[in-house]
Amino acid sequence: MAYPRQGDTPSRRASDLGRSHVANLDINASIAAYRTLLTPTARYASFDYCYNYFQSFHEQDDAGALADSRHLQASCLQLGFYLASWGMLRGSSVLLQRSMRNFIPVIQAISQTPSDIWAIDADNYSHANCQALIDAATRIRDSFPDSASDILVTKTLLGVFGCMPAFDQYFKKGFAVSTLSTRSLQKIGAFYEQHAAAIESNRVPTISFDTGLSTNRRYPRAKVIDMIFFVAGGGSASLTDLDPEPSGRDA
């Protein structure tokens, strides 16, 4: 499979990288299946509440305040509960043995992340932006006091910035990638280019924690792609299957 080089046109990039993942994929059906999981009290709404929280600071040009004394505890709680809800504090996970103070250096790294990272989504995965995301992932990875896997790092990046899908077992299986890299991000960007209309039409509003109703903030494109390939890779499409390990976003 050819990967895009500088100078490749969008149509060529989509042709080379985007089509092989969707030969038998019904994007709208995958999104519809995932959306059965999205109610205000259901597990997967934890993304909405975490994303809303962090984005609200960025939108006020005040991301640095995430780590100040007024907001640090709430920031740790938001990130920690989202990660717990998405299966990162279970079993043999080292995070299961840590308190929310373990997230302080992560929140500090988030608060210092350059503003351009907050603006990157799957519709602008240029070569430079893909490299910037890899650099951001490295900074977040290094901020965890213990070793951080691709799964943990990408779930953090998705929940905070909305800039890339979570590279769990279902997304990787559905999208046919194995690790986080510039090449895997370029494949995601190519998929967006090939299916932009379907992705844009499925950018549903996030759920408000305060009201349980829709906000004016739409899902990022990377989140929509995450939803598509979570289902395509065999992830749960039923609220009754949230708890068993094979069905949830646990690995």
- pLDDT value at residue 18: 46
Report how far Cα 189 is from the mean position of its chain's Cα atoms.
Answer: 14
Alpha-carbon distance of 18 to 12, in angstroms, equals: 10
> For residues 44 and 3, what is the distance between their CA atoms, to the nearest angstrom?
33
Q: Which residue has the tokens 């989509």?
A: 14
Q: Please compute the mean of the pLDDT values over residues 204-223 and round it to a whole number.
A: 98
Give the pLDDT confidence of 24-70 residue by residue, as tens digits: 688 888 888 888 878 999 999 999 999 999 999 999 999 999 999 99
The answer for 166, left when phi > 0, alpha when psi is -120 to 50, beta otherwise, is beta
- The predicted structure's pLDDT at residue 93: 87
Residue 121 DSSP one-character state: -
Answer yes or no: is pLDDT of 116 > 50. Answer: yes
Rounded CA separation 15/21 (Å): 11
pLDDT of residue 251: 58
* Residue the block writes with tokens 């598509």: 228
Give the pLDDT band of residue 19 (cuts 50, 70, 90). low
Write down the mean pLDDT value for the chain: 87
pLDDT of residue 8: 38
Closest C-alpha to 184, from 194, 195, 172, 193: 172
pLDDT at 248: 54
How many whole angstroms separate alpha carbon 156 and alpha carbon 222?
13
DSSP state of 213: S
pLDDT digits (tens, 9 = 90+) for 97-108: 999 999 999 999
* Alpha carbons 118 and 143: distance in angstroms, whole number: 18
CA angle 74, 78, 84 (to 5 degrees): 135
- What is the predicted pLDDT for the residue at 145? 96
Count of other CB atoms within 10 angstroms of residue 203: 14
Tens of pLDDT, residues 174-208:
999 999 999 999 999 999 999 999 999 999 999 99
Is residue 68 within 8 Å of 107, Cβ to Cβ?
no
